[in-house]
Amino acid sequence: MTTAAHRIVILGAGYAGLAAARQALRAKGAQVTVIDARAEFVDRVRLHQALAGQPVRRTDIRKSLERKGIEFVQARVERIDPAARRVELAADGAARGAGWALHYDSLVYALGSRGDRSAVPGAGEFAYSIATPEDLARIPELTGKVAVVGGGATGIELAAELAESRPDLEVELVSAEEPGSWLSAKARDHIRATFDRLGVRVHAGVKVREVTAAGLELVGGERIEAGIVLWCTGFAVPDVAIRSGLAVDADGRVLVDDKLRSRSHPAVYAVGDCALMPGSDGRALRMACATALPAGKYVGASIVSRLRGREPEAHSFGYVLQCISLGRRDAVVQRVRPDDAPTDRVFTGRLGVFVKESIVRAVGGAARLSPLT
């Protein structure tokens, strides 16, 4: 008599989900299935480059997974039924009629994040996000004055990239804090100097009260006119976990234990941006490809260990670097302590570009399951 293969189902073909799939393949006799609404993997960490008009590689997810013996289902995940061990999927256009479901034995929840434009009135209506390829497709042609809101890593990378690649644009960066405020003074100064060189006008220490068709209205009454507002103030997560009854924090991120299993449903692993992954000091890890990819790898390896009858060690993660591109000819690479606190070691210029580009290439290669990485 033959027994059915153990079915490992991974929700999300982003950095975390694909890293988990790659490891899960090592489970002998198991069937690995990845589900994603998209047909193509596009490096999210290069979306600012895509908006600036640079070619960014797109990879057919089905082809790259099936080459490795991993099944791919292109569908939108609606809900998980943890009691029945089923994932409920949206109806596939007219073809399938009602929604359908897939059974799993082990489940990885890795649905990532999207842009969040909910905090300020008018942002949802008049501002654009650059957090996903679908967001990019909605942005009209950039002309004239462009306001980038958010002095975090995404806003900094976007403003620099646009200013360098599109000198025809007037780029304004609007931020409640000094851009890169969490970095060392040396790194912050370099970012400022680069913005000066590229002609990016920085409005730091200001808060946006409302976004309108004409641009930004600030707390205090000042206005910044802009034809296009690009909103880079943070990410929000899908509500699939909430709809499935998994324990989540106030932002909807799945609460996990030190082995990245759902605290309410330990049979479900949750990883990447959509999970509140604790670091070694108990504080949540940053939403980043830098944390999602190794954590996905850990979860895939944990599933394999458990199938072999071994209990995995707790997840541990120490930060090393923070890398922020400043166009194609400059970058700031901040050396950090394992708890992500900046040191005074910073690499910029060509060395910075080399480090940042090598990392981005390596993570893209790993996500695409390319044989070289």
Ligand X SMILES: Cc1cc2nc3c(=O)[nH]c(=O)nc-3n(C[C@H](O)[C@H](O)[C@H](O)COP(=O)(O)OP(=O)(O)OC[C@H]3O[C@@H](n4cnc5c(N)ncnc54)[C@H](O)[C@@H]3O)c2cc1C
CB within 8 Å of 325: residues ≥ 6 apart: 48, 157, 160, 161, 331, 353, 356
Among 287, 333, 346, 369, binds ligand X (CB under 6 A): 287
Contact 161, 49 (CB under 8 A): yes
Residue 272 interacts with ligand X (CB under 6 A): yes or no: yes
Say whether residue 80 binds ligand X (CB under 6 A). no
Handedness of CA 58, 60, 65, 68 (dihedral sign): negative
Instruction: List the interface residues with ligand X, window 293-332 (CB under 6 A).
Output: 323
Q: Which of 65, 111, 229, 246 binds ligand X (CB under 6 A)?
A: 111
Under rule CB under 6 A, residue 160 binds ligand X = no
Considering only residues 104, 107, 112, 277, which one is a binding residue for ligand X as defined by CB under 6 A?
112
Q: Which two tokens stand for residue 268?
A: 């479900």
Residue 113 binds to ligand X (criterion: CB under 6 A):
yes
- Contact with ligand X (CB under 6 A): which of 7, 38, 145, 335? 38
The answer to the question of residue 273 lying near ligand X (CB under 6 A) is yes
Q: Is 136 in the site for ligand X (CB under 6 A)?
A: no
Least distance from ligand X to the Cβ atom of residue 38, Å:
4
Residue 338: CB atoms within 10 Å:
13
Judge contact between 361 and 342, C-beta under 8 A.
Answer: no
Whole-angstrom distance, CA of residue 272 vs CA of residue 200: 32
Does 192 engage in binding with ligand X (CB under 6 A)? Answer: no
Question: x/- contact string, 212-251, with ligand X (CB under 6 A)?
Answer: --------------------------x-x-----------
Interface with ligand X includes 289 (CB under 6 A)? yes
Residues in the chain, overall count:
373
- Using the rule CB under 6 A, which residue among 36, 116, 164, 170 binds ligand X? 36
Cβ neighbours of residue 52 under 8 Å, at least 6 residues apart? 161, 162, 164, 165, 166
- Choose among 76, 82, 104: nearest CA to 239: 76
**Structural tokens at position 371:** 């044989």
Strand order in the sheet with 71-74: 71-74, 31-36, 7-11, 106-109, 268-270
Distances (CA, A) of 304 to 26, 194, 283: 7, 46, 27
Q: Find the part of the chain contacting ligand X (CB under 6 A) among 25-33, 43-51, 138-146, 220-228.
A: 43-51
Is the CB of 217 or the CB of 262 nearer to ligand X?
Answer: 262
What does the binding site for ligand X look like in residue numbers (CB under 6 A)?
12-17, 35-38, 44-45, 47-48, 76-77, 110-113, 130-131, 154, 157, 238, 240, 272-273, 287-290, 292, 323
